[in-house]
Amino acid sequence: MDALELLSQRRSSRAAELTEPGPEGAVLQRILEVAIRVPDHGKLGPWRLLVLQGADRAWAGARLADRFRALNPDASDALVTLEAERFLRAPVVVAVVHRPILSEKIPAWEQQLSAGAVCQNLLLAAHALGFAGQWLTGWSAYDGPFLEALGFAPEDRLAGWIYLGTPEREPTPRARPALEEVLLTLPKGKGDSGSR
């Protein structure tokens, strides 16, 4: 697909509308390789990926449901089931975590931005190969005990759950800000000569 077309037409599909087939095998491998090919100040590699496919999604969902019940002892069974089935909405869910690297040179913010770029690359690579995705967070992204139950390090921060699959239908267009709304101009003419 033409690169500009890819960038200008990519849309997220709702996780619940991502169905089989999902990317797998060499195709998934390619998507993941492209995903980590991001700007990364200092070559620190401050990110890790965990791929949830097949039964792993239910295993992670069971951990999520356990945690949800511990936090909400009065929750209905229906709500607990919702958490247990959360990762089953799409064939593949990739957890992208930011793993901070102690550095005197590279600020934490820059490392976090690099992890965000991994998430976006995942969506773009999947889209280029005919799949769709959605970048989600939710309470689970901020729950330390749950993330540790999945094997992440205590210092890891979840940048996104990237749900991937085949879209059930074309997503509707989404309103976007006009370029003029986000373009800023320099505050010239307020006491300075404005030009040389």
Task: Name the residue number minimizing CB distance to ligand FMN.
Answer: 12
Dihedral sign (CA 153, 102, 32, 21): positive
Hey, what amino acid is at 183?
L
The three-point CA angle 1-169-14 to 5° equals 95
Whether 34 contacts 121, CB under 8 Å: yes
Size of the site for ligand FMN (CB under 6 A): 9
Residue 134 CB, shortest distance to ligand FMN, in Å, is 5
Question: Is residue 136 near ligand FMN by the rule CB under 6 A?
Answer: yes
The CA distance from 4 to 167, in Å, is 21
Question: Is residue 137 near ligand FMN by the rule CB under 6 A?
Answer: yes
The CA distance from 90 to 54, in Å, is 10
Residue 175 CB, shortest distance to ligand FMN, in Å, is 10
Stretch that binds ligand FMN, among 87-95, 102-110, 129-137, 145-153 (CB under 6 A): 129-137
Residue 184 CB, shortest distance to ligand FMN, in Å, is 21
Question: Is residue 162 near ligand FMN by the rule CB under 6 A?
Answer: no
Question: Is residue 64 near ligand FMN by the rule CB under 6 A?
Answer: no
Residue of the chain from 138, 144, 151, 194 that contacts ligand FMN (CB under 6 A): 138
Whether 102 contacts 185, CB under 8 Å: no
Stretch that binds ligand FMN, among 39-47, 85-93, 105-113, 131-139 (CB under 6 A): 131-139
Using CB under 6 A as the criterion, which residues of the chain lie in contact with ligand FMN when the complex forms?
11-12, 134-138, 160, 174
